[in-house]
Structure formats: C-alpha cells, structure tokens
Amino acid sequence: MLGRPIDVDVRRFVLRASLFLAFLSVANLGLIAAAGRTGIGRSLRFTNLPRRTSSWGGQSMVAFREAKSVSDVDILFLGSSHTYRAFDPRFFDELGWSSMNLGSTAQSPLNTYYMVTPLLDRLAPKVAVIDVYWLVLETTGVEGALDLAQNLPASWAALRMTLATRDPRALNQLVARFLEGQEALERRPVTLRPGDTYVGRGYVEKAADYKEFQEYRPRGVTISDRQLSYLRRVIEELRERGSQVVLVVAPVPQEELQATSNYEEIDARMESWALEMGVAYIDFNKILRLDLQDHFFDNHHLNQEGVSRFLPVFYEEICRLGSWDRLGGSCSTERGL
C-alpha cells in the first residue's frame, strides 16, 4: 500500500514548503552572521541571536588552547567558574604535581560531557576533581554552551553539545563562530573581566581589592535529573580511563547558603547520589567558613585571598580520601595547614 506514488499536488506542496524553509534558513543564517559581527543580538532582549563574536575571547579560549599541548596530567579540574577561580595550579606545582583546569563559565556536566571527555585519552588524569555547584546543576547547560561554542573551534562535539541543550541560542552562537572562521578565532584577543589575571593552565586569579557584590535574593534550587545523568556519564568516562573522581563544592559565602532555601536538601541529595555512584563528595561549605568581604569578590566567587585559604583545606580533605596516594604524595598536615 505504501508503494503507491504520492499525489502530485502533495509533492508540489511539500516542495513549496521546503522552498520556504530554505529561504528561512538562508535569511536566518544572514541574521546570525550579522548579529555575530555587530552584536545587535545582545542589545535586543528576548533574542536568540548570538553575541558578538570578535569581542569576546575569554578564559576558556586560552585554557582549551593550552590543553592541546598537555598530556598525562596528575589532576584535572572540571566545572564552572567556581573551578577556574578556585584551583590555582601554582599550589599543586609546589607539590610536584601537574594540573590542568578546564573549568569554564557555567560549565555543567552536559557541557563537560561533550567538550571535555573527547580530550580525556590524552589528558589521562590520575585524579579528576569536579565542582558540582548547585546552581549549575539546575541549568539546561545553555550558558555553558554559549561560552564554549563561542571560544572553541567549531566541531562535531560542539554541535552535539549545542543540540543537546535544546536551545537555539547555543546553536546560533556556534553557527556565528563557524561563520567567523578559524583564523579569526586564532587572532582574537583575550578579553578578561576587570580585576582578572590569567595565570595559566585555565586558572584565573581575581585581585583581592576587586568587589562587585549584589543583594542576595532567597531562592530554591531544583537539581536537573538530566544534568545528573550527564554527570554520571562523565564519571563513567573518567573511570574507564582509570581516573579517580572526586566531587566537590567549593566554598561560597554564608549569605549565599542562607539565600538558598533548600541548601540542606540539595546537599543531602548530592551526598546520597555520590554514594550510589561510588564517588567521594565533599561540600567545603561544611568544613570551611570564609568571610564574604575578605574572601570573595562577588556573591559566590572566591578571590585570591579566599583561594589561598581554601586550597590547604582542600589538600587535607583529599588526603583523607587517599586520592593523593596515586600521585605519590604524602599527606602531611604541615603542608596543608
């Protein structure tokens, strides 16, 4: 029955509809290219248009570029801006351990899965530390995808990531990046935020005197099951390569904890999830209390002073897990505190 030819009128209709879609696609590409060049999308609210490509080459552009020449690292750090603003490679250099920080803006497990796991064969980390800040686990991954699509060379992995976000903004940003060309990306200057210094291997140091606090607004957080399923996939990829995985939550101010109405519930959920997965989970907010004004530069990011207080505690806690053993390190409390 399905072998019969379809009606000629239906075929013509489908052809006309396809022609319209082709026109629409070409016009949309033109708009995306124009927005990528002019930045008009950013000045219009509600828009799915991409941000201006040429003026935005941040930490992730440099970090992933550096990662190309890195292999067999001792420690790999993954996650959002909390990661690239907390794990200073100089601290681990002193211990004689190599490290790479591939955290990026709002990098959620979905983003990590598509953009970082393809690099794991080469990076082959002995220990992988993933920051699981709850606000990132709540996202669809679009913000992280915008940053990575914009700052990394267009690739199939990037296409898969943008499609996985199910948000046209991510795909449009990738298309704008593709239309910009590879040479433009290589020529693009590094633009960091005020007060930032790019230290190397993905880490960004924030000047201790830089502040941009905002009023805290109470809110509840819902962890996305989809992000947890991507986190599971990331962990499995790491384990397949023999990496030991540790989930952490870098410190945030007490004010942030108080503003998160269901913080205890989220923490308990993550703890039991990690237990089920058989990975360690350490929420440093339960171990270390830092001061908003002295140790943070905004509502939830550490400044360099905060980092220097946090890392020794981090070292000690990971020591207790025995993770450093595989790096040939000794767990001396003198080193840590």
Partner 1 sequence: MLFNSWAFAAFLPAVFLIYWKLAATSLRFQNLFLIAASYLFYGWWDYRFLSLIIISSAVDYSVGLGLAATEGARKRKALLLASLLANLGLLGFFKYFDFFIESFAALLATLGFQPNLPSLRVVLPVGISFYTFQTLSYTIDVYRRRIPATRDAVAFFAFVSFFPQLVAGPIERAASLLPQFQRRRAFDADVAADGLRQMLWGFFKKMVIADNVARHVDVIFAGSGDYGGQTLFFGVFLFAFQIYCDFSGYSDIAIGTARLFGFSLMRNFAYPYFSRNIAEFWRRWHISLSTWFRDYLYIPLGGSRLGAFRHHVNVIITFTISGLWHGANWTFVIWGLLNGLYFIPLMWTGRRKKHGAEIAPGRVLPRLTELAAMAVTFAATLLAWVFFRADSLSHAVSYLGRMLLGNPFAGEQIARGVFVPGLTFITAMVAVEWLQRHRQHALEMPGVRRWIRWSIYLAVALSIVTFGSFSQTNFIYFQF
Residue 46 and residue 225: Cα distance in Å, rounded? 26
Q: Tally the C-alpha atoms within 13 A of residue 268's C-alpha that lie toward its C-beta.
A: 4
Closer of 168 and 312 to partner 1 (Cβ): 168
Contact between residue 78 and residue 130 where contact means Cβ atoms under 8 Å apart: yes
Contact partners, residue 292, CB within 8 Å, separation at least 6: 213, 253, 254, 255
Closer of 166 and 289 to partner 1 (Cβ): 166
Q: What SS3 class is residue 229?
A: helix
- For residue 117, the 8-state DSSP code is G
Member of 22, 38, 43, 44 binding partner 1 (CB under 8 A):
44
Residues numbered 46-105 forming contacts with partner 1, rule: CB under 8 A: 46-49
- For residue 324, the 8-state DSSP code is G
Member of 122, 160, 166, 286 binding partner 1 (CB under 8 A):
166
Q: Is 160 in the site for partner 1 (CB under 8 A)?
A: no
Q: Which one of the spans 43-51, 81-89, 202-210, 260-268 is the region binding partner 1 (CB under 8 A)? A: 43-51
Q: Is 22 in the site for partner 1 (CB under 8 A)?
A: no
Q: Is 276 in the site for partner 1 (CB under 8 A)?
A: no
Q: Which one of the spans 59-67, 163-171, 178-186, 204-212 is the region binding partner 1 (CB under 8 A)? A: 163-171
Contact partners, residue 26, CB within 8 Å, separation at least 6: none
Q: Is 14 in the site for partner 1 (CB under 8 A)?
A: yes
Q: What is the 3-state secondary structure (H, E, C) of 248-306?
A: EECCCCHHHHHHECCHHHHHHHHHHHHHHHCCEEEEHHHCCCCCHHHHECCCCCECHHH
Closer of 8 and 337 to partner 1 (Cβ): 8
Q: Is 155 in the site for partner 1 (CB under 8 A)?
A: no
Q: How far is the CB of 4 from partner 1 (least distance, A)?
A: 5
Q: Is 262 in the site for partner 1 (CB under 8 A)?
A: no
Six-digit token pair at 331? 């767990």
Closer of 4 and 68 to partner 1 (Cβ): 4
Residue ranges binding partner 1 (CB under 8 A): 1-2, 4, 6-7, 9-10, 12-14, 16-17, 20, 23-24, 27-28, 31, 44-49, 166-168
